[in-house]
A and B are shown apart, each in its own frame.
Chain A
Amino acid sequence: MSKLTRFLATAFVFLAAWLATLLGYVPVPEIAMEFVPALPLWIIVSFGAYSLASIGWSLVTFGDCPEAHQELLQEIQQAKADLRRLKVTVD
């Protein structure tokens, strides 16, 4: 079973249960009916918010490495000098 089919199956089961509840086939306390109608929307919005926060956070904490850049530039000079000695063209 592919990840897509698994996802669709889960979504289908959930939606069926939600619809059944909404149409009164599943007995739930009165108070629960207050938020059952909005449940799918609520899940989608939460997931979206989580995704944005997660990506935002990973951008804020994105690691820089300026030392690695400096080190590389120096090493390139060293390499070029040695490569010229080995008769390799470095422009």
Chain B
Amino acid sequence: MASLLTSLMGGSSATTRVASGDSLGLAPSDKYSVLLPTYNERANLPVIVWMLVKVFREYGINYEIVIIDDNSPDGTLDIAKQLQDAYGKEHIVLNPRPGKLGLGTAYIDGIKRATGNYIIIMDADMSHHPKFIPEFIRLQKQNNYDVVTGTRYTGSGGVHGWDLRRKLTSRVANYIAATLLQPGVSDLTGSFRLYKKPVLSKLISATISKGYVFQMEMMVRARQFGFTIGEVPITFVDRVYGESKMGADEIVGYLLGLFNLFAST
């Protein structure tokens, strides 16, 4: 129907866009809110936003990008304001916070601002590429999934730029979590996901952990509530700009958090 319209209007550049939008199975009222938590992502933020906008335009997807910046010392917020001027207030929503309050609460605050009926959670450091979003949406629509999660560990998924130590850490972390908690998701520590908005709200209010366990607990809770979960293989490129925050503290925190969940769910 929509593609018929474009061909009637003689639009050539728009053909791929509308045709793909059609095949995603979007409803006219569908809107996707991307939550982008940022802390010192001055170099990454403009590029990730540019890539997001490119994909959304190409597929004719109704969107907004909520940037939750925790008063980054590198001035990420200034860049966010420039992006708002460039792409418009209806597409770029700013949710600045006074200090580094952490990822968990960043999502809570972000949801409050989000006006879409679907929420996409991803990192702002370009490790998660927006090109996978149409695949998330397609799979979600096909099966009416409550959650679609990106996985680096099946099919065409993969990781670039990790040394052996980081690979081992991720694999062991996933193995222990899968063995203890059995949530039936192949990439538990990943954080590139699409949720129905009410589902995400419910999961977040039930989730108690912080740090890396947070992402995993969301999947455990999703199973607990009987939500359906789909998986899309994704490639993950380690951050090109900025510094990694993974250290021994995170690992100890992860193990403790895992055990807490093992004892409480």
Contact = CB atoms under 8 A, between A and B. Distances in A.
B51 A59 contact: no
B5 interface: no
A75 B51 contact: yes
B82 interface: yes
8 contacts: A2-B262, A51-B179, A55-B175, A59-B164, A63-B152, A63-B158, A68-B235, A75-B51
| B interface majority secondary structure | helix
B202 interface: no
Given A59-B171, A63-B158, A64-B160, A3 B82 contact: no
B240 A90 contact: no
B47 A90 contact: yes
Interface of A: 2-4, 7, 51, 54-55, 58-59, 62-66, 68-69, 72-73, 75-76, 79-80, 82-83, 86-91
B160 A69 contact: yes
Contacts of B237: 65, 68-69, 72
B161 interface: yes
B126 A72 contact: yes
* Chief secondary structure at chain A's binding surface: helix
A4 B260 CA distance: 9
Interface string B123-159: 0001001000000000000000000000011001111
A82 B180 CA distance: 47
B158 A79 contact: no
A45 B252 CA distance: 25
Given A3-B262, A54-B175, A72-B240, A86 B160 contact: no
A86 B92 CA distance: 14
B79 A89 contact: yes
Contacts of A89: 46, 78-79, 82
B42 A76 contact: no
A50 to B, nearest CB: 10
Contacts of B79: 88-89
A32 B32 CA distance: 63
Contacts of A54: 175
Contacts of B19: none
Interface string B38-77: 0000110011001100000000000000000000000000
B159 A86 contact: no
Nearest to B74: A91
A55 to B, nearest CB: 5
A82 B157 contact: no
Nearest to A69: B160
Contact of B83 (A62, A69, A88): A88
A73 B235 CA distance: 14
Contacts of A79: 46-47, 50-51
Contacts of A86: 86-87
